[in-house]
Amino acid sequence: MANVSIRAVRKAFGTTQILHGVDVEVDDGEFVILVGPSGCGKSTLLRMIAGLENITRGEIAIGGRVVNNVAPKERDIAMVFQNYALYPHMTVRDNMAFSLKLAKAPKAVLEQKVGRAADILGLGQLLERYPRQLSGGQRQRVAMGRAIVRDPQVFLFDEPLSNLDAKLRVNMRAEIKDLHQRLKTTTIYVTHDQIEAMTMADKIVVMHAGRVEQIGAPLDLYDRPANQFVAGFIGSPAMNFLNGNVRGGMCEVNGVRLPLPAGTSGEEGRPVVYGIRPEHWVLSGDGVPALVRVTEPTGSETQVMARVGDTAITCAFRERVAAKPGETIHIAPTPHQVHLFDQQTGMRLN
C-alpha cells in the first residue's frame, strides 16, 4: 500500500491543454474518487497515474517514488477498465493468473492467489468459464479479481460501473466499498456519477475543464461547496440557483425577498447567486409564493417543480404535499442551509 502524490500535473495533446496543473494528495489506504463531467480530464489523470499516458509537466509519485519515467508494469498498480478488458480467449482463471504467469510465479503461488481472489469475489464456480459466458456483473468481478491477484500498491478504477444496469450498479457499489474496507488498498476511482462519488469515497476530487474545483470529504462538499460548479454538481436533484441582489440584509430575487445566511458580508446591491438545495425548502405560510408545475411523489419524499417569479426551482419535502399543478404554495428556505455565490466568479461568499 502506498500514498499517491500528484503535483502540478499538466497534460497536453498537441496544443490542446487537457489538465491545467492538478494537485492531489492520496493518503495510504484512502478511497479517493475523481469526479466530474465528461471531458474534464479525470480519466486522463487516471491513465497518467497508470502510466498509459505520459506526463507533460509536473510529477506523480507512488509510495514516495516519482514514477514519471517508470514503465506501467513497474508502478505496482492494478487497473479496472470501463469495458473490463478481459482477455476473451482466456478462462476466468487464466485472466486472473495472467500477470502471475508473466512474472513466472510458482504454480502453488498462482493457485493460492487466484483461489483467494475467487473466494473474496465469489467467483469459485466460474473459474473455467470464458468472459463471453459471463454476465456484466460477473465480468466486472473478474476484472477486479485480476487486480486483486496482483496485490498492488494502488487500485485504479476507470468508470467501472458505467456498463452495468442501475440495480447491479448499486450492488457493485457496495461490493467495491466492502472490498476496499477489507483490503485497505489505496484506491483511485474515476466516475462521472456524483452518487457513486458520494456513497463510496473517503475523499472526493471534483474536476472541471482540466482543473480541480474542490477536494474534500463527501459531506463537506455537500455542506460547503467551494463554488457554484461544485454546488451544482454534487447532490441530486441539483441545487437551485437564483440570481439576485443583496438589499437591506436580504436577497432580492425577482422582487421576492429571501433571507441571507448568518454572517454574510454582502455589500448593498451586490449581484449574487442564491443557492438552496431542494430539500432545504420548507413549507411555510409566510414564505414566498411558488407556482406548482409538476409534483413527483416518490413515497419517501415529494419533489415539486415550481416557479418563483420566472425562475424554475425544485423542492423536495419529506412530508406529502397535496398541491396540484397550477396551485400556489408558500415556501421558505432554511437560512443556515443557504449557499451564496458571487455572480461573476462563482466563488462562495458565506
Partner 1 sequence: MSATDTRDIDALNWVAPRRTPGTLARLMDNKAFLVCICLFPALSLLIVFLTYPLGLGIYLAFTDTQIGRAGEWVGLENFESLFHDRIFLNAVWWTVAYTFFATILKFGLGLWLALLLNNHMPFKSLVRAIILLPYIVPTVLSAIAFWWIYDPQFSIISYVLVDKLHWLDHYIDFLGTPWHARWSLIAANVWRGIPFVAITLLAGLQTISPSLYEAAMLDGASPWQRFRFVTRPLLMPILAIVMTFSVLFTFTDFQLVYAITRGGPINSTHLMATLAFQRGIPGSHLGEGAAIAVAMIPFLILATVFSYFALGRRKWQQGSDND
> CA 120, CA 35: separation in Å to the nearest integer?
27
The pair phi, psi for residue 182, each rounded to 5°, is -80, -45
Give the type of residue at 302.
T
Told to check if 50 binds partner 1 by CB under 8 A, we report yes
How many C-beta atoms surround the C-beta of residue 73 within 10 A?
11
Q: How far is the CB of 159 from partner 1 (least distance, A)?
A: 12
The residues in 260-279 that bind partner 1, with binding defined as CB under 8 A, are none
Q: Is 83 in the site for partner 1 (CB under 8 A)?
A: yes
Q: Are 287 and 335 in contact (CB under 8 A)?
A: no
Q: Which is nearer to partner 1, 146 or 280 (CB)?
A: 146
Give me the DSSP letters along 9-66: EEEEETTEEEEEEEEEEE-TT-EEEEE-STTSSHHHHHHHHHTSS--SEEEEEETTEE
84 binds partner 1 (CB under 8 A): yes
Q: How far apart are CA 131 and CA 133, in angstroms?
A: 5
Among 61, 85, 291, 332, interactor with partner 1 by CB under 8 A: 85
Stretches 3-11, 79-87, 245-253, 300-308: which one binds partner 1 (CB under 8 A)?
79-87
Q: Is 99 in the site for partner 1 (CB under 8 A)?
A: yes
> According to the binding rule CB under 8 A, does residue 161 interact with partner 1?
no
CA 168, 172, 173, 175 torsion: positive or negative?
A: positive
Give the nearest distance from C-beta 88 to partner 1 in angstroms: 6
Nearer residue to partner 1 within complex by CB, 50 or 251: 50
Q: Which residues have a Cβ under 8 Å from the Cβ of 5 and sit 6 or more positions away?
A: 24, 25, 26, 59, 60, 61
What is the smallest separation between the CB atom of 296 and partner 1, expressed in angstroms? 32
Of 262, 270, 269, 279, give the one whose Cα is nearest residue 333: 279
Q: Are 18 and 41 in contact (CB under 8 A)?
A: yes
Of 11, 42, 146, 339, which lies in the binding site for partner 1, with binding defined by CB under 8 A?
146
Of the candidate spans 56-64, 70-78, 196-204, 213-221, the one that interacts with partner 1 by CB under 8 A turns out to be: 70-78
| Grid cell in block for residue 115 | 483461489
Report the nearest approach of partner 1 to the CB of residue 127 (Å). 14
- Stretch binding partner 1 (CB under 8 A), from 48-56, 251-259, 282-290, 303-311: 48-56
52 interacts with partner 1 by CB under 8 A: yes
The span of 9-17, 76-84, 213-221, 272-280 binding partner 1 (CB under 8 A) equals: 76-84
Instruction: Please report, for residues 90, 158, 161, 205, 288, the alpha-carbon distance to residue 53 in angstroms, rounded to integers and kept in the order given.
Output: 27, 14, 22, 20, 53
Residues lying near partner 1 in the complex (CB under 8 A) are found at 50-52, 72-73, 77-79, 81-85, 87-90, 98-99, 102-103, 130-133, 135-136, 139, 146, 150, 163
